[in-house]
Amino acid sequence: MNPSETREQVWEESRKRLIPGTVIGSVIEWYDIAIYGQAAALVFSTLFFPQFSSTAGLVAAFATFGVGYFARPLGAILFGHIGDRYGRRISLVGTLMLMGIATVAIGLLPTYGAVGILAPILLVVCRLLQGLGVGAEYVGAVTMVAEFAPTKRRGYYASMPAAGVFLGIGLAAAVSAVVATLPREQLLSWGWRVPFLLSILVVGIGLLIRLRVPESPVFEDLRAARAGTKVPALTMIRVMPKRFVLVMLTNVVIALNIYVVQTYSLSYLAGKGVSGTTALVALLFGCAVGAVAIPLVGIYADRAGRRPAYLVVTAICAIVPFPFFWLLDTGNTLLILLAFGLAFGSCLAVFGSQAAYYAELFPSAYRFSGFALSREITGAVLSGPAPVIAVALVALRGGNPALLALAMMAAAVISFVAVLVLPETKGVELADVRDGTSAPTELGIANTREPMAATDGAAS
């Protein structure tokens, strides 16, 4: 049996556990992000920052949302190191547990009215712990699937963990929509805690599945050859700094735009007098559109290439921002649904082109670290502050979102240009047992069998 047939057999034997085991982590990650963002937009300013004015309280609540993103690069380094040195699987179990514990802890926190300033301090600590776990969760899931999946369908299968994005945000929107129907007094006293406490059920199920997921065959080869590096993240930065920066820039469109839509738009609609239930239902609809778009883009990436798929979706992301806010301003429920469908259908679709592409741009010795750190540094700079940036840009124009829409367009253009500079990787093999410490050779053609041997900025 040749190596290709062996990999196909391993994939067929593993995928029934692997796909659910990786998707469940993304569900929890994005459920945690979504319920926190929704709570920050709707109740946290009252519960944890009651001494502030309404605008200052909202900014403070969104700032605690952003704190978690500053911890994500640290999580990327920590769990990326574990994933590259000790195994993808052990890293995924660790991120899942840390995310779950931190989320449930938020649901148990005392509010400002009970313990004063200690309440927001504890909230920040929980967000930091969440950020550490989230910093490598999605990346670990995608890396595992990409290293198992057949080369010709890697784009499709690697995009599947991103379906957890929809399921997580959608589940959060559904739970929050139910909780939002409570009388205001009950919502502020105990109802806001329910979405956070329910996370323990999803985490329990996730651990049961994930503990049965086998280790990546690519990592097993790497370990057998003793070809790992002592500090994978540092090796990656030393060997391919330009590649690292370019991959960070390709993520700008997700890092800013999706968090404006997911978090800030809820408070924007509330300011227009739109009910929280309508906003959350629209969010759920947008996620459904994104769930369809993600695997379709993954299939397109397998057929046309990683770069064409990425370029198409980022171009769409550049067109959407102004229509998004125009539709929200109508206050019409159907048009608000359409707005979220357009926004999430384009932003989430980037995941379909990103998943396999990022995995293929880094060698196996530091793939986990390179993938994670390049995403999470951009997230720390843009995703966490995104709601605060949005509040500030809209306030500068007296409530007009034009500056915010321009910023979202600029983010898409930056990502578009970065992808133009990066090489195509469709059809490459991911197995590579070298230690990754020597400068790689040129990646001249798309179907070369050594993607990780790409020179830094080969296409430039």
pLDDT by position in tens, the chain (length 460): 455 555 666 676 677 778 888 888 778 877 887 788 778 777 887 788 777 666 666 677 777 777 778 888 999 999 999 999 999 989 989 998 998 899 999 999 998 888 888 888 888 889 889 889 888 888 888 998 998 888 899 999 999 888 777 778 778 878 877 887 888 888 888 888 999 998 888 888 888 888 888 888 888 888 877 766 889 999 999 999 999 999 999 999 999 998 899 888 888 998 888 887 888 789 889 888 988 899 999 999 999 999 999 999 999 999 999 999 999 999 999 999 999 999 988 988 999 999 999 999 999 889 999 999 999 999 888 987 888 899 899 999 888 999 999 999 999 999 999 999 999 999 888 876 444 444 444 333 333 333 333 444 433 3
Say whether pTM exceeds 0.85: no
User: What are the DSSP calls for 381-409, one per residue?
Assistant: IIITTHHHHHHHHHHHTTT--HHHHHHHH
Q: With H, G, I as helix, E, B as strand and everything else as coil, classify residue 87.
A: coil
C-beta separation of 347 from 258 below 8 A: yes
C-beta separation of 175 from 201 below 8 A: no
Q: How far apart are CA 401 and CA 399, in angstroms?
A: 6
- List of domains in the chain: 3-453 (1.20.1250.20)
Half-sphere exposure in the Cβ direction for 298 (13 Å, CA): 28
Residues 6+ apart with CB under 8 A from 95: 25, 75, 79, 133, 134, 135, 136, 137, 140
Distances (CA, A) of 283 to 42, 288, 394: 14, 9, 21
117 exposure class (CB count in 10 Å sphere: 0-12, 13-18, 19+): exposed
Strand locations in 274-338, DSSP E?
none
Strand locations in 178-306, DSSP E?
none
Q: How far apart are CA 387 and CA 394, in angstroms?
A: 11
DSSP code, position 426: T
Strand locations in 216-262, DSSP E?
none
Q: Is the dihedral of CA 289, 295, 296, 300 positive or negative?
A: positive
